[in-house]
Amino acid sequence: DVKVTQSSRYLVKRTGEKVFLECVQDMDHENMFWYRQDPGLGLRLIYFSYDVKMKEKGDIPEGYSVSREKKERFSLILESASTNQTSMYLCASRGPGTSGVSSYNEQFFGPGTRLTVL
C-alpha cells in the first residue's frame, strides 16, 4: 500500500514568515507533486519533480519554491508567506497502478496540510 505523508495537518503562520511543507512517500516513486486545493478552483499544480534535484514549474509557481534532495522527500517552500497563500496543500507521488502496469498514470495523495496565513 502506497503511503504518502505530510508533516502537518494544520499550520498557522504570519505574513512574511518562511514556511516549509514536507512530503514523504515510501514507494520509491520518481514523480512527486505539490498542489493547492481551493473551493471552486479544484486542484492546481504548483511544482512537480521527476527525479532527485529535478523540478518543473506547474501552473501557479509564483511565490513558491521546492526542494528534492532525496527521492522519498519533496518539500514545498513559501519564501515569504502571504494571506493569499492560505489554502489546503496536497502532495502526491506517482507510480504504477494497482495492476502493476507502469504506464498507468496514477497519483497517490497525502492527507493534506491546511495552511492559514494571518
For residues 85 and 87, give the distance between their C-alpha atoms in angstroms, rounded to a whole number.
6
For residues 72 and 79, give the distance between their C-alpha atoms in angstroms, rounded to a whole number.
22
Torsion 60-5-40-79 (CA) sign: negative
Residue 16 touches other proteins, criterion: CB under 8 A:
no
C-beta closer to other proteins: residue 30 or 79 = 30
Residue 94 touches other proteins, criterion: CB under 8 A:
yes
Grid cell of 88 as nine digits: 489546503
- Interface with other proteins by CB under 8 A: which range of 16-24, 60-68, 70-78, 100-108? 100-108
Distances (CA, A) of 28 to 65, 75, 99, 110: 22, 16, 17, 15
Residue 104 touches other proteins, criterion: CB under 8 A:
yes
C-beta closer to other proteins: residue 81 or 92 = 92
Task: Find out whether 46 and 58 touch, Cβ atoms under 8 Å.
Answer: yes
Neighbours of 66 (CB within 10 A): 22
- Residue list 35-54, contact with other proteins (CB under 8 A): 35, 40-45, 48, 50
Residue 100 touches other proteins, criterion: CB under 8 A:
no
Question: Closest approach of Cβ 106 to other proteins, in Å?
Answer: 6
The contact set with other proteins (CB under 8 A) reads 4, 31, 33, 35, 40-45, 48, 50, 58, 90, 92, 94, 97, 103-107, 109-112
